Structure 1
C-alpha cells in the first residue's frame, strides 16, 4: 500500500535527523538559545545612554533640568562639562551620545517668559539611538516647560494631547520581538533541515536507493515534506509556550487560526528548502543556498523595518517572501485578535508560494532522477 511506503519514508527521515547527535543538537539547542538571547538582546529600545551637560546657568531652572535628566532611568551617566570644547571632544570620541548646553540666562529667560537658550548636540553616527535620545530629552524639557510660570499660564489655553498605545500599552519591546522570532526561527530551522535532506542522501549514497525503490516521485517529495513540517510545528508550539509563560506576551487571538496559517507557512518554507536541496549536490552547497535566501528574507520581511519604508522598486520583491505574510499573522494573533478574513488574506499568498516551490522542486527532482 502506498501509505505504508510513505509512512516508512517519513519514519526514516525523522530517524535520520533525530538519531544523529549533531542534528539533535541543532534542532533542540540553538532555537531555544536564539529565542532567549534575541528576545532580550535584539531590541531597538535605547538604554544605558551616556550624556554630558554644560550648565552655565546658576539659577533654579537650570539645576532643576539637570536633576531631572540625572533622575531619568534611560541615562546611565550624566557627566558635567566645564567648557564647550569638552562637549565637542566627548562627541568626537563617542564618549557620549548627546551633549546638552544650558545658557547662562536660562532661568532668567524662563522667569521673564522669554524663549530660554538650550542646545542639544547629538552624535549622528548613531542615527537611530540619537533620535530616540532626542525624543527622551524633548519629553523631559517639555514637562519642565509646563511647570514654569509661563507654562502654567499657557496651559489653560492649550489643548492637551494624551497618547494611548493600542495593543502594546506599555511599549514593551519583547511583545514586538518574541512573536517575530516565532516566525523567523521557524523559517531558519525549517529551511536548513529541508535543504539538507536530498543533499544528505546524495552524499551518503542512499539517493540511488531511493531512485530504485517502489516509491514514486510525488511520494518521495511528500515523505521529505512531512517530517520538517512536524519539526517546525513542534518548534512553533515551544515558542508559543515560551512567549506566553516566560515572556508574558498576551495571546489575544485564536490558536486555531495561528496553527492553520503556520501549516501553509511551513509548507512554503519546506518547498523552498526542497528546491534548494534538489539544486545542491553537497550539504555544504545546501547550507550556503539556504543562507543565501535567509538573509534577504529576514531583511525584506518587515521584521525590523516596515516594508512601506523600503524603496518602491524593492517592495514588489517582498511579495515572494513567506516570512512577510506569517509575521502579520503571528503578531496579529498574539497582540490584537486578528480576524479570520485577515488571516485568510495573508495565508493565500503562502499557499501560492508553497504550490509554486513544491512544483518546481518536484520538476527538478524528476530531472535529477532521469
Structure 2
C-alpha cells in the first residue's frame, strides 16, 4: 500500500522507523530509571551508554525494516522475526557467557547486533573500560546499521520495481 503513494523510499523508511525509535528510547529511559531507583544500579559513562543503546536500536530497527521489506504479509514478517530472534537470544551472550558455547558455534554469535551491544555495555558499565575496549563493538553496530538501512532501501526499490 505504501508503494503506490507519492512518498519517496527515504520518507517511507523514516516514517516507519521514527515511532519505533521513540517508543524504544522511552522504554530504555524507563528501564534505566527503574534500575537506578529500585535496584540502585549505577550507570557509568551515561553518554557512552546512551550512544551504544541508540546505535543498537537503529541497527535492530534496520533489521526490522529488512524483514518488513522481504515479507509479503504481516504473518510472514512475524515468522521471520521469530526465526531470527530465537537464535539471537540464545547465542548473543545476553543470558549466558559466550565462552560456554562450542567454538564452532561461537563465531555465529558475532553476526548478531545483540552480542556486540552486550559486550560494549558490559565493558562500559561493569568494567569501566575506555574506548579501546568498547569501540570495536560500537563500530560493528554502526556497520550493521548502515548495512541494514542500505539493504532495506535496496529491497524497497526491488519491491517498487516489481509493482
**TM-score normalised by structure 2 residue count:** 0.89
Larger relative strand fraction: 1
Relative contact order, higher structure (CA 8 A, sep 6+) = 2
CA distance in 2, matches of 1:219, 1:207: 10
**Distance apart, 1:273 and its partner CA:** 0.4
CA distance in 2, matches of 1:333, 1:241: 18
Post-superposition CA distance 1:90-124 (Å, at most 9, x none): xxxxxxxxxxxxxxxxxxxxxxxxxxxxxxxxxxx
**Is 1:223 aligned with 2:18?**
no
Post-superposition CA distance 1:3-54 (Å, at most 9, x none): xxxxxxxxxxxxxxxxxxxxxxxxxxxxxxxxxxxxxxxxxxxxxxxxxxxx
Q: How does 1:137-156 map to 2 (within 5 A)?
A: none
**2:2 equivalent in structure 1:** 207
**1:330 equivalent in structure 2:** 121
Match for 1:290 among 81, 88, 101? 81
**Distance apart, 1:218 and its partner CA:** 2.1
Does the Cα contact within 8 Å between 2:55 and 2:142 map onto a contact in 1?
yes
**Is 1:277 aligned with 2:65?**
no
CA distance in 2, matches of 1:236, 1:341: 25
Does the Cα contact within 8 Å between 1:268 and 1:357 map onto a contact in 2?
yes
**Is 1:240 aligned with 2:32?**
yes
**Per the alignment, do residues 342 and 230 of structure 1 end up closer, same or farther by CA in structure 2, a change over 3 Å counting?**
farther
CA distance in 2, matches of 1:333, 1:283: 37
Structure 2 regions of 5+ residues with no counterpart?
Answer: none
After superposing on structure 2, the runs of 4+ consecutive aligned residues of structure 1 that deviate more than 4 Å are none
**1:363 equivalent in structure 2:** 154
**Distance apart, 1:216 and its partner CA:** 1.6
**TM-score normalised by structure 1 residue count:** 0.41
**Number of residue equivalences:** 161
Give 3-state SS (helix, strand or coil) of 1:320's partner. Answer: coil
**Per the alignment, do residues 212 and 304 of structure 1 end up closer, same or farther by CA in structure 2, a change over 3 Å counting?**
closer
CA distance in 2, matches of 1:249, 1:212: 47
**2:134 equivalent in structure 1:** 343
**Distance apart, 1:311 and its partner CA:** 1.7
**Distance apart, 1:222 and its partner CA:** 2.4
**Distance apart, 1:347 and its partner CA:** 0.4
User: Aligned Cα RMSD in Å?
Assistant: 1.6
